[in-house]
């Protein structure tokens, strides 16, 4: 796992450099979810492929930007499912974006997630890594090198609310619940970038990030293997919870297709228990 962590650190530096140096235009292609691809999306995907090609323990890669499985090493143990540059459309307005990695062993389902990591490309490059043991670890770059900052623990109750999805497409019970949080004094913190939005709640003591099923996206928007399950491990290991709209742990998801999405709620215990009550689950 150390070699995979080192690979992600190398990827982080290279993608950060690409963000600062490369053309921000759109490529003439779209990804598996039908979203237009920035040249940066394609460039970031290529960087990840090339770096993991040097890590013999990585058997396969599955990218949010492509269909299918990219085979690397016959004797490898792990499949790395990744979103190379989540929220990339925010780069042209200079907001933070991120890369997300889920490291699986065996069938691609949540119970086979061995570890997860994400990188935030912001004023500094920061990285968080979680395994099934212990709290997530925060790393940040100082003088262009990653240094370990410490463990991440969420409070029982927070004060931040990151409500995803188009509000006019929310179910009435979801809108009433979110409005209730704001009436209780929660502060709106939503950039439209999953990585910085979830990173902020993890580091600022807690709250709730929600991307529900909506009338226009009944199964939600965020992808299980590349986005939802990796962050579910982070939140659970930090002492919070991560569930879907049925109250099921996201760490029990079994995608039927690599690009399946799921309604998802990540947060401190108090907010998630309140959401379960509001959803009647
Ligand atoms: P909405 C970015 O496009 C993304 O995939 C996530 O990073 C983010 O949380 C979500 O979509 C934002 O979606 O519908 O709220 O704009």
Contacts of 83 (CB under 8 A, 6+ apart): 63, 64, 65, 99, 100, 223, 226, 227
Start and end residues for every CATH 3.30.540.10 domain found in the chain = 2-151
Average pLDDT of 189-200? 98
Structure-token pair, residue 117: 């990591």
Distance 87 CA to ligand 1 centre (A): 6
Which contiguous run of DSSP H or E holds residue 178? helix 172-183
Q: Are 102 and 121 in contact (CB under 8 A)?
A: no
At residue 21, the pLDDT reads: 87
Residues with CB under 6 A from ligand 1: 86-87, 164-165, 192-194, 221
Kindly report, residue by residue over 132-184, the tens digit of the pLDDT.
Answer: 999 999 999 998 899 999 999 999 999 999 999 999 999 999 999 999 999 99
For the CA of 195, the closest atom of ligand 1 is 7
Instruction: Tell how far the Cα of 90 is from the centroid of ligand 1, in angstroms.
Output: 10
**Which pLDDT band, with edges at 50, 70 and 90, does 276 fall under?**
very high
Collapse the DSSP code of 40 into the 3-class scheme (helix H, G, I; strand E, B; otherwise coil) and give the result.
helix
Considering the entire predicted model, what is its pTM?
A: 0.96
R_g of the chain, CA atoms, integer Å: 18
Third-level CATH fold of 160-279: D-Maltodextrin-Binding Protein; domain 2 (3.40.190)
Among the atoms of ligand 1, which is closest to the Cα of residue 164?
Answer: 15
SS3 82: strand
Residue 175, token pair as written in the block: 């809108």
Distance 238 CA to ligand 1 centre (A): 23
Tokens of 217: 């996206």
pLDDT tens-digit readout, 201-240: 999 979 999 999 999 999 999 999 999 999 999 999 999 9
Q: Which of 34, 37, 40, 86 to mutate to test the pocket of ligand 1 (most atoms within 8 A of CB)?
A: 86
Angstrom CA distances, 84 to 23, 65, 72, 96, 135, stand at 16, 8, 17, 14, 24
Where in the chain do CATH 3.40.190.80 domains reside? 160-279
* Superfamily of segment(s) 2-151: Fructose-1,6-Bisphosphatase, subunit A, domain 1 (3.30.540.10)
């Amino acid at each position: 796992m150390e070699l995979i962590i080192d690979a992600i650190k190398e990827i982080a530096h290279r993608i950060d450099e690409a963000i600062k140096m490369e053309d921000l235009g759109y490529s003439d292609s779209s990804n598996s979810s039908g979203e237009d691809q920035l040249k940066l999306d394609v460039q970031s995907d290529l960087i990840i492929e090339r770096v993991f090609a040097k890590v013999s323990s990585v058997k396969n890669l599955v990218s949010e930007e492509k269909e299918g499985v990219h085979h690397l090493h016959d004797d490898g143990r792990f499949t790395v499912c990744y979103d190379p540059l989540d929220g990339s459309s925010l780069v042209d307005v200079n907001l933070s974006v991120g890369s997300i990695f889920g490291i699986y062993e065996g069938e691609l389902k949540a119970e086979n997630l061995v570890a997860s990591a994400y990188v935030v490309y912001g004023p500094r490059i920061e990285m968080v890594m979680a395994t099934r043991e212990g709290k997530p670890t925060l790393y940040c770059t100082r003088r262009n090198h990653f240094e370990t900052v410490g463990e991440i623990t969420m409070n029982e109750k927070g004060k931040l609310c990151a409500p995803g999805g188009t509000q006019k497409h929310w179910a009435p019970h979801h809108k009433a619940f979110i409005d209730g949080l704001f009436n209780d004094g929660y502060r709106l913190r939503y950039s439209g970038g999953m990585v910085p939005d979830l990173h902020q709640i993890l580091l600022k003591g807690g709250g709730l990030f929600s991307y529900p099923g909506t009338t226009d996206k009944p199964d939600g928007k965020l992808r299980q293997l590349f986005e939802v399950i990796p962050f579910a491990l982070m939140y659970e290991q930090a002492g919070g919870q991560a569930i879907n709209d049925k109250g099921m742990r996201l760490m029990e998801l079994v995608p039927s297709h690599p690009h399946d999405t799921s309604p998802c709620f990540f947060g401190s215990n108090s907010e998630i228990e309140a959401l379960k009550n509001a959803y009647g689950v």
